[in-house]
Amino acid sequence: MKGRRHYDKKRKFGIGTIVRHFKGGMYRIEEFARHTETGEMLGIYRQMYPPFYSYAKPEEMFCSRVDHEKYPNIRQEYRFEKVTKQEAMENGKRSEL
């Protein structure tokens, strides 16, 4: 099932990928799901810091670019971007402080 592996084929988001939200939070992609009523693909992702909430977001929104008119000081290009394991580990250490 190709749809279960990637949100965005170009950026290769898969289950287990660590991503940074443009506002700074770090998340782990847990699963992909299809909405039972609309058929829309959803990404299920979990905070990498307490309280470790899980969220679902439509694929189109997950892969969207940051609205730089609304958020002019944000440098990140996309709403969610992949991070390295090292960045994720460093962020985890900061969240424990």
Question: For residue range 69-84, what is the model confidence (pLDDT) as tens digits?
Answer: 999 999 999 999 999 8
Check residue 88 and give its pLDDT: 74
Check residue 7 and give its pLDDT: 46
Under CATH, which number does the domain 2-86 receive?
Answer: 2.30.30.320
Check residue 1 and give its pLDDT: 38
Residue 74 sits at φ, ψ, to 5 deg, of -85, 130
Check residue 94 and give its pLDDT: 53
Cα 71 from Cα 66, distance rounded (Å): 7
Check residue 11 and give its pLDDT: 65
Percent of the chain whose pLDDT exceeds 90: 63
Domain regions of the chain by residue span: 2-86
